[in-house]
Structure 1
Amino acid sequence: MSMESMTIPLLAGHGNIICFTTTRYGSNREILCREMNIPEERLFVPCQTHGSEALIVDEPFLALSPAGQADTLQGIDALITALPKVCIAVATADCVPILLYAPDKGVIAAVHAGWRGTVLQIAWKTVRRMVSQFGCAPSLMFAGMGPCIGREAFETGEEVVEAFRLAGADMQQILDYCPKTNKPHIDLREANRLQLIETGLLPEHIETSGVCTYSSGDFFSARRQGIQCGRMLSGIIIPNRVSNPVRDSRRY
């Protein structure tokens, strides 16, 4: 990992895509776009609201004015595209950034999964959108999760535990109680990994960085630094054309 960014080896091993997660030292969009050889207007980050809405970035979306694009990105927490030379990314500072790649159809996605989005099953919904819209096969898909807050650091209230329980999460796998404080701790990585497996992704096709944003000074952490801290970008791009038409830009 460099001081500016890191990659996800499982995804990076595919020559058809480029993926990255910036550290707190490397979120300069101009530099990122220059390294990817795209203009800044081809880098898209949704206006995240901790929901579960996914948007397809297609030719009609690109044809919108900058104001129209900005309006369309409101209330979106996941982006999907099959267009080349379009970088889709999400901004995080403890939440889970998930990057998806379907090599059978040349489709990519970037997902922002905070605890609320995880409860709303945004990872599951995004994969299902890729299946319904593009015909992607989950068993052939690959997923990478960037740095996020770890189980040990993510202390929650009982209301969060109840939200996960009501959503049908496997509490035995994602919930611990700290022996010292008796406070609940949720494993967001594992919760999202289980969602991806439920959609049909193979466990060996899912990689997590293992880096805790709260514990590492190389990354922004809203819990450690406050909500006004900076954000890392986790993005993915198809640098060259892959044959697969996009049908529309409707949300999930």
Structure 2
Amino acid sequence: MDYLLQLAADPAAWVALVTLVAMEIVLGIDNLIFISILTNKLPAQHRTKARRIGIGLALIMRLGLLGTIAIIVTLTQPIFSVFGHPFSWRDLILISGGLFLVWKATKEIHHNVDPDPGSDMFETSKVSIGFGAAIVQILMLDLVFSIDSIITAVGMTEHIPIMIIAVIAAVTVMLLAADPLAKFIEANPTVVMLALGFLIMIGMTLIAEGFGAHVPKGYVYAAMAFSSGIEVLNMMVRRASRKKGAH
């Protein structure tokens, strides 16, 4: 109790908390885009439930990982080398998650571009997915983003209560934003393609990070913000054109 009171009275702890909450929310955007696109392929009556279960399990997973933080920190230790370049468990997890994101986004783009793709390696003839399959895929990406998020948090503060509050705040924002974002993406088909492009960029960033090439997150999110701004302008132009046509 005394430890918590001392922490609450420490201005540096409050700065760390605000910074970490903001960072966790920004990192959660990647996860939220994937969840929104994936759950939109479910029957309408199951989408909200799938989002809530997926995000709820993400919260449990992140809190569980915080409980094993001593083990999480060791994931950054090299376990083998290839041509002199060391790889850790974190690197392997990031590479695997990045490859999965790139594959999944490419599959969805292929399905959206080709209205009659037929039977191929992407199996795009199956428009919808099962509820259980959606939850499993959400958890797979949750694990990747959670481990990356926890390791980043450890680098910013050593106080577990601050990490817990930041994780709960970020997941709460994700929970509140999930349905509006998914409905917005569903109502605007061009936004779907933009979001899939974001997923490919995020996937490539994860792969690059796994191979030791640090990509500043600010560049990635600046590119996403710029592209989103252009798409908003395109939506305004299309809306104005429809109004002209109606008149």
Fold match by TM threshold 0.5: no
Shorter-chain TM-score bucket reads under 0.3
More helix by share: 2
Where relative contact order (Cα < 8 A, 6+ residues apart) is larger, the structure is 2
